[in-house]
């Protein structure tokens, strides 16, 4: 059975991720097939919109399939990872810049690479069990696949909070933070998809939507904004009150698990991207980090601890997130000249 099902259905171009046992994690081949479909449908007059969904109940897409990245990286071959990221980011840019409405159905987990496929469209649909996150700092990466742009656009300092903690958003949080648009009960999705394919009218989404659930992050935002506005991780630490309220103790607990270098660089990237507000700028700055993440960063150790050995005890390059040297951040920031990202 194929990992992805791409076809035309009425007025819609349909992309269905079909690796439910693997939580629909993106393989390199799936990335290339999605890109090819975007290229074909961009100017096809018989396609009015795109509908992107996934099989299974647990996940729309829980991320990228990084097993081969780990195997090649630990062998000293960093070219495969760089190629994967270059081609994936090019697809992400095409998704974000697609000239027709893109409607995505985000059940269960939508994380990492899944955000790059599911959260750049014009009509992003969530339901009661949706859980959306940018968890990269937990494995030594930075929020990528254009996620830094979504974080930069989030209200207040929620982007910094979500990028540095890797906290998971429910449906209400995702809508509040700008990662989703509409809450539609899951049981009505088949009828909505049929209407979209039949009519090619994205207005059907708004007519099917229900009021968004209450957002925990909206309630927490004043306290998060007060702490996550600092220029550095040290500034954020110093802004945290003692004793700390629940939102801040929750943030501290999550940040203690993550790569200090990745968090420091994620903070820098989110601030840079906020000033540009452009998907290609976001992807370019993300690639500067990911292209170096195996050789100079914590990525391989993060994968070992989380996925290979599963001991959940990574030995990060830096002992504390409160003190990452500026020189180490700068070393991850420069343009990649030997294998550049090209759109």
Active site residues: 64, 113, 136, 144
> Of 109, 26, 16, nearest to 55 (Cα)?
16
| Residue 105 three-state SS | strand
User: Is residue 290 within 8 Å of residue 144, measured between CB atoms?
Assistant: yes
**Tokens (6 digits) for 262:** 């990745």
> Of 1, 129, 3, nearest to 54 (Cα)?
3
Please state the separation of Cα 276 from the chain's center in Å: 19
User: Is residue 131 within 8 Å of residue 167, measured between CB atoms?
Assistant: no
d(CA 67, CA 185): 34
User: Is residue 298 within 8 Å of residue 140, measured between CB atoms?
Assistant: yes
d(CA 150, CA 256): 24
The β-bridge relationship of strands 4-9 and 12-17 is antiparallel
Q: Which residues, at least 6 apart from 71, have a Cβ–Cβ distance to it below 8 Å?
A: none
């Amino acid at each position: 059975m194929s990992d992805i099902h791409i076809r035309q259905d009425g007025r819609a171009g349909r992309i269905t991720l079909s690796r439910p046992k693997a939580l629909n994690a993106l393989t390199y081949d799936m990335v290339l097939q999605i890109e090819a479909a975007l290229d074909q449908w961009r100017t096809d007059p018989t396609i009015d919109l795109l509908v992107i969904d996934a099989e299974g109940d647990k996940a729309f897409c829980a991320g990228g399939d990084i097993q081969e990245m780990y195997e090649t990286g630990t062998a000293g071959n960093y070219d495969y990872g760089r190629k994967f990221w270059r081609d994936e980011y090019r697809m992400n840019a095409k998704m974000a810049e697609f000239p027709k409405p893109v409607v995505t159905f985000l059940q269960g987990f939508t994380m990492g690479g899944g955000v790059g496929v599911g959260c750049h469209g014009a009509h992003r649909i969530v339901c009661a069990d949706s859980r959306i996150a940018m968890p990269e700092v937990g494995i030594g990466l930075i929020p990528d696949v254009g996620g830094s742009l979504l974080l930069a656009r989030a209200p207040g300092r929620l982007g910094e909070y979500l990028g540095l903690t890797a906290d998971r958003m429910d449906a209400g949080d995702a809508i509040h933070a700008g990662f989703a648009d509409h809450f539609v009960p899951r049981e009505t999705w088949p009828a909505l998809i049929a209407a979209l394919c039949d009519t090619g009218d994205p207005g059907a989404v708004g007519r099917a939507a229900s009021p968004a659930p209450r957002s925990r992050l909206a309630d927490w935002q004043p306290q998060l904004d007060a702490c996550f506005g600092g220029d550095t991780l040290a500034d954020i630490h110093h802004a945290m009150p003692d004793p700390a309220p629940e939102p801040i103790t929750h943030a501290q607990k999550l940040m203690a698990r993550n790569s200090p270098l990745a968090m420091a660089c994620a903070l820098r990237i989110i601030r840079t991207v906020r000033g540009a507000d452009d998907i290609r700028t976001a992807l370019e700055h993300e690639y500067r980090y990911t292209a170096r993440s195996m050789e100079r960063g914590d990525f391989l150790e993060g994968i070992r601890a989380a996925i290979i050995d599963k001991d959940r005890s990574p030995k990060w390059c830096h002992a504390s997130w409160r003190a990452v040297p500026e020189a180490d951040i700068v070393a991850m920031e420069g343009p990649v000249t030997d294998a550049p990202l090209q759109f």
